[in-house]
């Protein structure tokens, strides 16, 4: 045999992960494309959450100094999008890479394609300690570059360059304990690290070269940490373990609010806190109500201002925000672990994640005017709501420690009256909305028909504007939150204790009698520590069924034929009786029934040691510890035949052999036969023709070894057991240096292994024998490989050693040790049990080993026979074709050229019939679709729309995607139904849909916002200005007493009008004056109760930005004379009051008495500029100081036209070049009228397809806008004025270059698609 240099990764493809545990620290990550990655032992399991199927399992290879891989404790998907540039030599897929950290402190990048690490980071910890990784977080440093932040050990924060693996920043927070890392959704350069005691580290990356590129700010969230102090005293000395491993039930985590910048949601074990990073203050805090367990995870909902808290006791609570302030109210409690159908005690919930992949699809669905907003079925079997209106649907994934992945559907529903109320509010909002011309008949819907969660959060305010009496109770009284279980994936339920494969002989019959021979089935049975038996279908790499048979560890498991299992467990008796209670159970796979046998009334003196079942499944040997062996006939009612009181060490039944073609079995003893190739073993004879299958017609034999080293063979025939005397080997064969610990028996060989590592084999027909020493530890198992007619060698064995490694030997070779396959670390884990998979039918079929790993995983290792060398080698191809119950509809898994082809087809517009006209699920329903083209002509599947690029390319791309389409592996039915609604609604929705399918939510939001931004520009160009910002009204003169009264009252700021961007993460793309002003006004009310000098300065700044100068003056005049800000505040109060009224100026002058001058804040100058009306200069000063949002708010309040556009364009430059958010920058460029800069940004980012689509969509929207103008002379002159978009003139060299380059891009994509092999599962 030959020893390979390294194991083949493809041979690892068939693998089931063990159940996750607390040692994995709840590490899980759900990608925006719907792929769940979670840590299970030393492997990463990847699950498609749309179809709830296991995609693959990626084992982490062990470190050089260890034979076993450590537990994985952190997992994070890479944030890279699908690469648009076409490189022929590129093999990796950056969007399918995982950052993984383990308990030994290693951090690596795992690649899904190669299923192997592609980079190990330089984790040089002090004192060579192994600091377990607590959490990971990707941080953006450039447009196409990301760094990786990691928490190692209890308090070390490190940041790595992901291109080189070099660590360029470290921060030790001792004696704090770091808990988790999170990235800011509003700025990908910004992230925070939170400690168990409330220590918060806010960091921003300006590059990835040195520690000078990191900007730090530390904050403290006050919380009660007395419980943690007690745990610290009781905990052992920390050896580098992360906080989640030391304090497993003391969890502290946080999440950024997706709706409000600078706001984070923090969960302590018994407290919930909302914290403002800008103010460094707590906005809201509350303790969890009684009945809720300790905190586990906080999950914000992108669709609505709601978040979910998961608890350690398996409950999940829903919290909604009270209108107008940052107070949250708990409105529902649900169970993540149903009480029905679960074991006692209930399994633990280890991790919870909210799916982000459907929120953008819901935004797209709302833009279809002829369809209900939630007509799309999100895998909900209970989707028949007659009396309720669904505002939002959110999918939530939970992982439990019994190997199950649960998918829940969270819905926000209201009554019919609530729906009418919402529609009335919507109509009021529509009246107040400035009409925007439609784009492809749907842009108006975007700006006015904001159903669902706008009204959940803003219902109160909207109705107040419409003159309806309403209050915050609308949300709590009329909106209910419900949760339904809609999917579950069942993997291995517990740590594996036993492994059994069926290897029925030719005489094995079916379970219910008869003479039909049983065939080998692709099933493997696994016994577990929890007492369940999991049956694995290896052809599907899935758990076929699971039986809860025992209440304790399954200590023995064997197949009886191919449809029954026999297992045993034992428990110790109580103190009075002592002894052991042995439990033996026969389980029928067909009926699912389990029946006990050999039931005794009292405990026994000896526990059962092992079970040995014959190949036919008719006989069973029960081995006891220090007690006689029992022989049982496994009939319908098992019957004990006799007891054998001999000091056995090992017993093994003979394995089935393969008779020669057309050879009729003989009843002559096989030991007397000279034909070693085809004789059956003793008594494994078939019944006579016409026999009724009586037990007496069959006999089977087993070999054994005794304590003194003696060997023997017994034959069992019916109820008779007799001793066979084969031809014995020489006396030197019996060794006295070690007990026989393992044995395998298949005619003519009996193979034995002892505790000294010796392997001896003996030919029972000739008496010949031989032996060799493996120079390894003692031998625990020996397994003969399956044989088929034509096999050259029948002496291949797999040997499992006591050190949990294994080797494969060929006893027919001249030197078995020299040609052995020695792979002690081949599967990447220590091996608990192994056996051969008996599914070979041809001599060229590979040999497959089933391995139960010490990490509780189940793996298949495939070996192929090397005929030239006469040895074995790992096989590089998959073992068998994967059989799935439903297709795997995950486009992100396709090879990059094919994924780009599908993306382009979705963008250009394919008819829905292309997806399911010939699919297996929809074959009958769509087989007679009118207009369906023939199978050979694919051009008719594309919709009739203006073509972009080469018109011949779509048909070629459809041909490339044909194999995936036939298998149903492109889109699931749910997303096909949604695509059917949006495909003819214009390019904007198709482009947004294509982006959302591949998990690129920011690009999808860009396409959804582009029509509004372009209409904003067009309205400005034709002097048809949209709704202006809410300028302050001039305050009439009033007397001093009323002025003092008004100042002292400090009335609340007015609420903004209906915000069309409340829904989801569209706030990230806000650019209109009304939107920016409303968001700033909303935040003011949260900070009114905050105290302190810094808080007052920030509040004044917010009030000046929104134009509420009167409230700003009142706040400034309240400054104490002892304050260091008194002089500056007084100066600003006088200046600002002069801009309000003369009476307020006089009052301010009387109040101010300057005593001293101290250092001032840089923002004070902007306030003075505002006082004299120099708003453009004030905005420039704010932008120079890095206050970009404040500058935009001030501009939205006071500027318009080209002045406002200049502020937006400078903001766009900052967002693109500093924050590296190209999609948000593009929206700002378009709103500012800088279309040429937007196109240049797309070209510089190497997005040729997106640049071409951008030009195409802008022209569509422009043409639609012109078609809605009136036909009078004024409108005609306006059309002439804006006949071409500025910067996108068709004759422009840049625009022409974009079109030409896109054509070249398409043709190159076709060539790459033709050269790429289809993805095979």
64-91 pLDDT, tens digit each: 777 778 899 999 999 999 888 777 655 6
The token duo for 1288 is 């996108």
Task: Tell me what the mean pLDDT of segment 1254-1272 comes to.
Answer: 82
**Residues counted in the chain:** 1321
Residue 1078 in 3-state DSSP? Answer: helix
CA-CA distance, 384 to 527, in Å (whole number)? Answer: 41
Question: How confident is the model over 206-232, as pLDDT tens digits?
Answer: 988 888 889 999 999 999 888 888 888
Using CA atoms, how far apart are residues 169 and 1004, in angstroms rounded to an integer? 34
Most confident range, picked from 684-693, 806-815, 902-911, 1179-1188 = 902-911
pLDDT of residue 1067: 61
pLDDT at 1283 over 80: no
Helix, strand, or coil (residue 1104): helix
- Per-residue DSSP letter, 1003: H
DSSP one-letter code for 1299? H
Query: Is the separation of the CB atoms in 346 and 337 below 8 Å?
Result: yes
Q: What is the pLDDT of residue 1292?
A: 85
Query: Using N-to-C axis directions, what is the helix angle for 1040-1049 and 1109-1117, rounded to 10°?
Result: 90
What pLDDT score was predicted for residue 962? 87
Tokens of 340: 């029905």
- The pTM (predicted TM-score) of the whole model is 0.81
**420 or 1316, greater pLDDT:** 1316
Residue 280, phi-psi category: left (phi > 0), alpha (psi -120 to 50), beta (remainder): left
Comparing CA positions, the residue from 924, 920, 936 lying closest to residue 973 is 920
* Orientation angle between helical segments 1188-1198 and 1164-1171, nearest 10 degrees: 10
**CB atoms closer than 10 angstroms to residue 708:** 10
- Reduce the DSSP state of residue 958 to 3 states and report it: helix
Distance CA 1119, CA 1099 (A): 13
Mean pLDDT of the chain: 77
Residue 1107 has pLDDT above 80, yes or no: no
Reported in sequence order, the residue ranges of 438-555 that DSSP labels E, i.e. its strands, are 479-490, 496-500, 523-528, 532-537, 542-548
Sheet with 271-276: list strands edge to edge. 253-256, 263-268, 271-276, 281-287
Cα separation of 1197 and 280, whole Å? 26
Instruction: Please provide the distance, in angstroms rounded to a whole number, between the alpha carbons at the two ends of the chain.
Output: 30
Cα 1053 to Cα 1036: distance, rounded to the nearest angstrom:
19
Residue 298 in contact with residue 254, Cβ under 8 Å? Answer: yes
Q: Read off the pLDDT band of 900 (50, 70, 90).
A: very high
What is the average pLDDT across 795-816? 84
Residue 476: pLDDT over 60: no
Distances (CA, A) of 1129 to 73, 1085, 1118: 51, 21, 9
Average of pLDDT values for 306-330?
Answer: 88
Does residue 56 surpass a pLDDT of 60? yes
Determine the pLDDT at residue 40.
92
Residue 435 binned pLDDT confidence (cut-offs 50, 70, 90): very low
Q: How confident is the model at residue 1319 (pLDDT cuts 50, 70, 90)?
A: low
Higher pLDDT, 774 or 926: 774
Higher model confidence: residue 30 or residue 1280? 30
- Long-range pairs, 817-822, Cβ under 8 A, ≥24: 817/772, 817/773, 817/774, 819/1, 819/2, 819/869, 819/870, 819/871, 820/1, 820/3, 821/1, 821/2, 821/3, 821/863, 821/871, 821/872, 821/873, 822/3
- Measuring CA to CA, which residue among 1209, 530, 523, 1182 is closest to residue 883? 523
- Per-residue pLDDT band for 731 (boundaries 50, 70, 90) equals low
- Tracing tokens 């006004």 back to the chain, one arrives at 1081
Contact yes or no for 55/48 (Cβ under 8 A) = yes
267 or 447, greater pLDDT: 267
- Going by pLDDT thresholds of 50, 70 and 90, the confidence category of residue 369 is low
DSSP letter string over 4-67? -SS--SGGGSSEE-----GGGTT-EEE-TTSEEEEEETTEEEEEETTTTEEEEEEEPPPPTT-S
3-state secondary structure of 530: coil
Q: Where are the alpha helices (DSSP H) in 1089-1141?
A: 1093-1105, 1109-1117, 1126-1138
CB proximity list for 447: less than 8 A, separation 6 or greater: 433, 436, 1012, 1060
Strand order in the sheet with 315-321: 295-300, 306-311, 315-321, 328-335
- Does residue 116 surpass a pLDDT of 60? yes
Q: Among residues of the chain, what percentage have pLDDT more than 70?
A: 72
Least confident span in 554-568, 805-819, 1298-1312: 805-819
Does the pLDDT at position 874 exceed 60?
no
Residues 966-1012 have pLDDT tens digits of 888 888 888 888 899 888 888 999 999 999 999 898 899 999 989 98
Contacts of 557 (CB under 8 A, 6+ apart): 498, 499, 500, 525, 526, 527, 533, 565, 566, 567, 611
In this structure, what are the phi and psi dihedrals at residue 1164, rounded to the nearest 5 degrees? Answer: -65, -35
- Kindly report, residue by residue over 618-648, the tens digit of the pLDDT: 899 999 988 889 999 988 899 998 888 888 8
Q: Are 223 and 268 in contact (CB under 8 A)?
A: yes
- 1200 — pLDDT class (breaks 50, 70, 90): confident
Query: What is the pLDDT, as a whole number, of residue 202?
Result: 95
**Distance from the Cα of residue 215 to its chain's centroid:** 30
* pLDDT over threshold 80, residue 1032: no
What is the residue whose two structure tokens read 């029509």?
1011
């Amino acid at each position: 045999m030959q020893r390979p240099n390294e194991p083949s990764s493809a041979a690892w493809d068939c693998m089931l992960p063990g159940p996750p545990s607390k040692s994995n620290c709840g590490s899980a990550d759900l990608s925006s494309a719907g792929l769940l990655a979670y840590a299970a032992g030393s492997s990463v399991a990847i699950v498609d959450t749309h179809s709830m199927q296991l995609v693959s399992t990626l084992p982490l290879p062990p470190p050089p100094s260890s034979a076993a891989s450590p537990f994985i404790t952190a997992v994070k998907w890479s944030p890279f999008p699908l690469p648009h540039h076409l490189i022929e030599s590129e093999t990796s897929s950056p969007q399918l890479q995982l950052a993984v950290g383990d308990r030994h402190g290693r951090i690596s990048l795992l690649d899904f394609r190669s299923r192997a690490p592609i980079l190990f980071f330089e984790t040089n910890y002090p004192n060579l300690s192994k600091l377990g990784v607590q959490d990971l977080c990707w941080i953006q440093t450039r447009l196409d570059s990301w760094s990786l932040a990691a928490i190692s050990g209890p308090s070390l924060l490190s940041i790595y360059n992901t291109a080189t693996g070099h660590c360029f920043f470290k921060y030790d927070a001792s004696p704090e304990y770091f808990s988790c890392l999170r990235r800011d959704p509003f700025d990908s350069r910004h992230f925070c690290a939170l400690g168990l005691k409330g220590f918060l580290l806010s960091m921003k990356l300006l590059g990835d070269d040195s520690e000078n590129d990191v900007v730090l700010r530390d904050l403290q969230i006050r919380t009660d940490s007395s419980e943690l102090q007690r745990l610290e005293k009781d905990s052992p000395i920390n050896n580098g373990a992360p906080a989640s491993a030391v304090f497993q039930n003391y969890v502290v985590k946080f999440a950024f609010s997706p709706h409000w910048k600078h706001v984070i949601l923090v969960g302590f074990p018994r407290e919930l806190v909302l914290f403002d990073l800008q103010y460094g203050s707590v906005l809201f805090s509350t303790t969890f109500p009684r009945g809720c367990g300790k905190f586990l995870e906080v999950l914000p909902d992108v669709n609505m201002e709601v978040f979910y808290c998961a608890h350690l006791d398996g409950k999940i609570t829903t919290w909604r925000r009270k209108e107008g302030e940052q107070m949250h109210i708990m409105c529902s409690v649900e169970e993540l672990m149903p009480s029905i159908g679960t074991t006692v005690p209930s399994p633990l919930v280890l991790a919870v994640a909210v799916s982000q992949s459907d929120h953008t699809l819901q935004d797209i669905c709302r833009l279809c005017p002829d369809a209900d907003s939630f007509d799309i079925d999100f895998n909900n079997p209970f989707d028949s709501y007659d009396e309720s209106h669904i505002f939002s649907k959110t999918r939530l994934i939970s992982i439990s420690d019994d190997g199950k992945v649960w998918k829940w559907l969270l819905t926000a529903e209201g009554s019919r009256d609530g729906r009418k109320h919402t529609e009335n509010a919507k109509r009021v909002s529509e009246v107040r909305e400035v009409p925007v011309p439609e784009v492809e008949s749907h842009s108006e819907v975007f700006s006015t028909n904001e159903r669902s969660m706008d009204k959940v959060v803003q219902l109160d305010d909207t109705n107040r504007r419409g003159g309806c009496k309403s209050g915050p109770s609308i949300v709590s009284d009329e909106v209910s939150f419900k949760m339904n279980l809609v999917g579950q994936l069942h993997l291995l339920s517990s740590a594996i204790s036993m492994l059994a494969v069926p290897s029925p002989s030719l005489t094995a019959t079916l379970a219910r009698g008869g003479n039909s021979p049983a065939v080998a089935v692709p099933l493997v049975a696994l016994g577990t520590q929890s007492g369940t038996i999991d049956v694995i279908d290896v052809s599907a790499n899935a758990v076929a069924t699971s039986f809860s048979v025992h209440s304790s560890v399954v200590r023995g498991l064997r197949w009886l034929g191919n449809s029954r299992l026999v297992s045993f467990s034992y428990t110790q008796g109580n103190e009075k009786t002592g002894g052991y209670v042995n439990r033996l159970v026969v389980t029928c796979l067909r009926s699912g029934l389990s029946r006990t046998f050999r039931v005794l009334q009292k405990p026994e003196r000896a526990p059962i040691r092992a079970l040995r079942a014959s190949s036919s499944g008719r006989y069973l040997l029960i081995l006891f510890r220090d007690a006689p062996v029992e022989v049982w006939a496994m009939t319908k009612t098992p019957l004990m035949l006799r007891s054998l009181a001999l000091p056995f060490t090992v017993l093994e039944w003979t394995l089935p052999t393969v008779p020669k073609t057309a050879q009729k079995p003989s009843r002559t003893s096989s030991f007397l036969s000279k034909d070693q190739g085809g004789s059956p073993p003793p008594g494994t004879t078939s019944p006579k023709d016409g026999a009724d299958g009586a037990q007496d017609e069959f006999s089977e034999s087993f070999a054994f070894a005794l304590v003194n080293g003696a060997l023997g063979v017994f034959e069992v025939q019916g109820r008779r057991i007799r001793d066979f005397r084969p031809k014995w080997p020489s006396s030197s064969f019996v060794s006295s240096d070690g007990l026989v610990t393992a044995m395998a028996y298949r005619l003519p060989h009996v193979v034995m292994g002892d505790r000294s590592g010796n392997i001896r084999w003996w030919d029972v027909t000739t008496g010949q024998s031989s032996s060799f020493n493996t120079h390894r530890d003692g031998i625990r198992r020996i397994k003969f490989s399956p044989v088929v007619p034509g096999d050259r060698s029948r002496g291949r064995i797999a040997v499992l050693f006591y050190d949990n490694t294994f080797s494969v030997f060929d006893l027919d070779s001249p030197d078995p040790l020299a040609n052995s396959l020695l792979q002690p670390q081949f599967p990447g884990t220590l091996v608990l049990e192994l056996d051969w998979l008996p599914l070979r039918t041809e001599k060229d079929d590979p040999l497959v080993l089933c391995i139960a790993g010490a990490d509780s995983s189940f793996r298949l290792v495939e070996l192929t026979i090397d005929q030239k060398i006469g040895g074995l080698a790992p096989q590089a191809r998959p073992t068998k074709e994967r059989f799935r119950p439903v297709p795997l509809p995950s486009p992100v898994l396709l090879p990059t050229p094919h994924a780009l082809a599908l993306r382009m087809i979705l963008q250009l517009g394919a008819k829905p019939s292309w997806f399911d006209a010939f699919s297996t699920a929809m074959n009958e329903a769509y087989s007679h679709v009118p207009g369906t083209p023939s199978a050979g002509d694919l051009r008719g599947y594309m919709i009739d729309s203006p073509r972009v690029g080469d018109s011949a390319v779509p048909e070629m791309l459809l041909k490339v995607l044909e194999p995936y389409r036939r298998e149903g592996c492109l889109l699931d039915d749910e997303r096909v139904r949604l695509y059917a609604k949006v495909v003819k609604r214009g390019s904007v929705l198709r482009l947004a849909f294509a982006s959302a399918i591949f998990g690129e939510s920011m690009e999808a939001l860009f396409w959804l916002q582009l029509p509004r931004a372009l209409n904003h520009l067009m309205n400005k160009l034709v002097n048809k200005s949209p709704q202006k910002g809410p300028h302050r009204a001039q305050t009439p003169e009033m007397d001093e007493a009323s002025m003092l009264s008004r100042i002292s009252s400090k009335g609340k700021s007015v609420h903004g009008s209906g915000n069309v961007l409340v829904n989801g993460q569209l706030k990230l793309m806000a650019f209109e004056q009304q939107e920016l002003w409303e968001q700033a006004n909303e935040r003011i009310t949260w900070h009114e109760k905050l105290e302190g000098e810094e808080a007052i300065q920030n509040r004044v700044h917010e009030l000046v930005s929104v134009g509420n100068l009167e409230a700003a003056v009142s706040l400034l005049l309240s400054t104490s004379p002892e304050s260091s800000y008194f002089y500056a505040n007084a100066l600003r109060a006088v200046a600002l009051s002069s801009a309000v009224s003369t009476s307020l100026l006089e009052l301010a002058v009387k109040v101010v008495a300057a005593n001293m001058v101290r250092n001032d804040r840089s923002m004070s100058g902007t306030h003075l500029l505002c006082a004299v009306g120099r708003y453009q200069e004030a905005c420039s000063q704010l932008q120079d100081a890095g206050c970009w949002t404040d500058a935009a708010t001030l501009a939205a309040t006071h500027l318009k036209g080209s002045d406002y556009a200049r502020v937006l364009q400078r903001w766009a430059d900052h967002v693109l070049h500093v924050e590296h958010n190209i999609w948000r920058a593009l929206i700002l460029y378009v709103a500012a009228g800088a279309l040429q800069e937007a196109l240049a940004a797309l070209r510089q980012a190497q997005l040729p397809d997106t640049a071409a689509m951008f030009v195409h969509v802008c022209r569509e929207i422009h043409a639609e806008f012109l078609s809605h103008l009136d036909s009078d002379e004024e409108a005609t002159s306006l059309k002439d004025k804006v006949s071409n978009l500025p910067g996108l003139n068709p004759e422009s060299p840049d625009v022409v270059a974009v079109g030409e380059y896109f054509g070249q891009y398409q043709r190159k994509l076709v060539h790459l698609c033709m050269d790429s092999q289809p993805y095979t599962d």
